[in-house]
């Protein structure tokens, strides 16, 4: 079983739409959670950390459900510039292991 | 502020040739360092990580090796490249001890094509 699983998509949404991505993780000892954004042929860049109580950064909202072991990312009022692959990442502090999902592809259409 | 450098940006090498990719971090001390590979259309695969000078942990068996000769320098090497070594190689760092939320930050990557 993979450590982190994501729906690969693709998600094709019109500008202004709201889109949500989910991610599940298998290791209950996971301690830190993140969403990264990766543009085509570029390195992943940290979008936001996911806090236990959930957190919001502008149009982006991240939620964590430890009981069900999943993480979500909600993007409101989608912009063309949001088109990218979104990677779910979990960290198990023991050994400083980071586990990446394979990513969810988002295309925002004019 | 912290920055992470990788070079070269792109590399085309023949099968059987050696490889050396370098990564350096500025603006921090004692970082955890990582090498990942991303094959075309696939997720990131952790190759090596290091928590200190000379300390290397390998995640997958392969013909690659890593070294950390200095605190902020991480090198990925191979004696003989295989076709399957082609991919996008990414170096990353995170604060030792995790920092507040233990974020990981990536360098710009090296795109390697083995022919």
- Give the C-alpha separation, A110 to A16, whole Å: 9
In this structure, what are the phi and psi dihedrals at residue B15, rounded to the nearest 5 degrees? -55, 135
**DSSP symbols for A32-51:** EEEEEEE-TTS--EEEEEE-
- Give the C-alpha separation, A28 to A75, whole Å: 26
User: Over its length of 115 residues, how does chain B's per-residue pLDDT go in tens digits?
Assistant: 889 999 999 999 999 999 999 999 999 889 999 999 998 777 898 899 898 999 998 877 678 999 999 999 999 999 999 999 999 999 999 887 655 557 889 999 999 999 9
Q: What is the largest CA-CA distance in chain A?
A: 44
**DSSP symbols for A71-88:** EEEEE-S--GGG-EEEEE
Strand partners of residue A19:
A75
The answer to whether residue A98 neighbours chain B at the CB level (below 8 Å) is: yes
The answer to whether the CB atoms of A102 and B88 lie below 8 A apart is no
> pLDDT exceeding 90 applies to what percent of chain A?
76
Q: Closest Cα partner for A68 from A11, A12, A25?
A: A25
- Give the C-alpha separation, A106 to B18, whole Å: 37
Tokens (6 digits) for A47: 């979008």
Which chain A residue has its CA at the smallest distance from B37's CA?
A: A43
DSSP state of B63: S
Check: CB of residue B67 under 8 Å from CB of residue B79.
no
- How close B3 gets to chain A, by Cα (Å)? 13
Q: What is the pLDDT of residues A7-61, one digit of tens each?
A: 888 999 999 999 999 999 998 888 889 999 999 999 999 999 998 888 999 999 9
- Helix (H, G, I), strand (E, B), or coil: what is residue B98? helix
- Give the C-alpha separation, B62 to A39, whole Å: 28
Residues of B with CB under 8 A from a CB of A: 32, 34, 36, 42-44, 46, 49, 51, 57, 88, 90, 94, 98, 101-109, 111
**Whose structure tokens read 């604060």?**
B95
Check: CB of residue A57 under 8 Å from CB of residue A76.
no
- Give the C-alpha separation, B100 to B27, whole Å: 17
Which chain B residue has its CA at the smallest distance from A2's CA?
A: B43
Q: What is the mean pLDDT of residues A84-98?
A: 83
Question: In sequence order, what are the residues at sequence separation of 6 or more whose Cβ sits closer than 8 angstroms to the Cβ of residue B101?
Answer: A32, A34, A49, A51
Q: For residue B67, what pLDDT is reported?
A: 96
Alpha-carbon distances of A17 from A22, A55, B31, rounded to whole Å: 17, 20, 40
């Amino acid at each position: 079983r993979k450590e982190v699983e994501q729906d690969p998509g693709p998600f094709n949404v019109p500008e202004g739409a709201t889109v949500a991505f989910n991610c599940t993780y298998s290791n209950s000892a996971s301690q830190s959670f993140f969403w990264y954004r990766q543009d085509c042929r570029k390195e992943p860049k940290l979008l936001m950390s996911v806090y236990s109580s959930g957190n919001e950064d502008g149009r982006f909202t991240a939620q964590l459900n430890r009981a069900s072991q999943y993480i979500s990312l909600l993007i409101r009022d989608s912009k063309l510039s949001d088109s990218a692959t979104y990677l779910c990442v979990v960290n198990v502090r023991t050994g400083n292991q980071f586990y990446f999902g394979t990513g969810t592809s988002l295309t925002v259409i004019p | 502020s912290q920055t992470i450098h990788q070079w070269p940006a792109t590399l085309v090498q023949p099968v059987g040739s050696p490889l050396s990719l370098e990564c350096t971090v500025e603006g921090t001390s004692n970082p955890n360092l990582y090498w990942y590979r991303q094959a075309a259309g696939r997720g990131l695969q952790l190759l090596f990580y290091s928590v200190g000078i000379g300390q290397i942990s390998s995640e997958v068996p392969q013909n690659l090796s890593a070294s950390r000769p200095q605190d902020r320098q991480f090198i990925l090497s191979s004696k003989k490249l295989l076709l399957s070594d082609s991919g996008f190689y990414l170096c990353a760092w995170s604060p030792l001890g995790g920092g507040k939320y233990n974020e990981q930050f990536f360098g710009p990557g090296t795109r390697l094509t083995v022919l």
